[in-house]
Amino acid sequence: MNQRGAYGSTLAEAFRLDRAPALVTRSLNKSRLAMTEVRCDREQFGMTKPIPREDAYLVAVQMGPCERHELWSDDRPAEVSPIVGGETMIYDLRRNPIARMDSAFHSVHFYLPKAVLDWIAEDVGAAPIGELDCIPGKRMDDPVVRGMAEVLSAALSQPEAVNTAFAEHALLTIAAHTASKYGHLSVTRRIPHGGLAAWQERRAKELLCANLTEGASLTDLARECGLSVSHFTRAFRQTTGLPPHRWLLQRRIERARELLRDRSRTLPEIALACGFADQSHFTRVFSSATGLAPGAWRRGIED
């Protein structure tokens, strides 16, 4: 299936890179949210290629400085100055942003389709987002976006090991923050509070356990409970004391303990059966949760 959207391989092509690691959600309002890392350590990189026009934005966090660069939007040069590491810039993909970098660069790009921003607005009872405050070349100090980029960039080295619900929650947080701060999101109705009803809690846990290896998306969980994503996330945490991705991780650890009692199962088999990317990922998470590596825990129950 061909990718649609300015993330992953599309950004790699635009930046003339062999690869650009990406973290991508499942479908949200027929679109996706994504985070992509682009990096080039050589000088005199040159021009980027055009990115296909679409009604979407790239919120870019500059992870390092880029002293010499130029930017065009709708074929018009933008006023620029040396980029300082940690700054945030927003690019409107309807306006054909093209850049020239004559210095090494390293940035993380959050892909935010307008359809998802409007869906977030509808979810909280707000009017649709008009346009984001998006002046070509303008840089902002945004500690929320910068902090999320720093946390999530570590996950890009092994995106298959990232819990689906966690990735969705993190990228939705970025999208909601962007809609509020730069799209002037205005809530017009009171957001309902309270935990899940008994049947909703039961159904959510059934879905999470049934998808132990891959994880259920927040969209699917919320729909099954008849709630918006934001209401479901708050209600689930209020009911269980944990956000969905943490509850699922806890259940995976519990399942791993059960399987470790069976000496016929190898550690790599148990890792895959419990939804971990590989034995190394399983060992890190299990050790963090229990204080013991899986093998040591298994030996301990035999003593």
Q: What is the pLDDT of residues 92-112, one digit of tens each?
A: 999 999 999 888 999 999 999
Is 251 inside any structural domain?
Answer: no
Is 294 inside any structural domain?
Answer: yes
Overall number of domains in the chain: 3
pLDDT of 204 strictly over 50: yes
Range of the domain at 67: 9-182
Question: What pTM did the predictor assign?
Answer: 0.70
CB-based contact 227:188 (threshold 8 Å): no
State the CATH number of the domain containing residue 276: 1.10.10.60
Sign of the four-CA dihedral 9, 15, 21, 22: negative
Residues 139, 28 within the same domain = yes
Q: What is the pLDDT of residues 27-74, one digit of tens each?
A: 776 788 999 999 998 888 889 999 999 999 999 999 998 888 999 999
Is 2 inside any structural domain?
Answer: no
Instruction: Give the 3-state DSSP-derived string for 103-117, with helices as H, strands as E and coil as C.
Output: CCEEEEEEEEEHHHH
Sign of the four-CA dihedral 284, 287, 292, 298: negative
Is 4 inside any structural domain?
Answer: no
Q: What is the pLDDT of residues 74-84, one digit of tens each?
A: 999 998 888 88
Q: How confident is the model at residue 3 (pLDDT cuts 50, 70, 90)?
A: low
Q: What is the pLDDT of residues 115-173, one digit of tens each?
A: 999 888 877 777 788 889 989 999 999 999 999 998 888 778 776 667 777 788 889 88
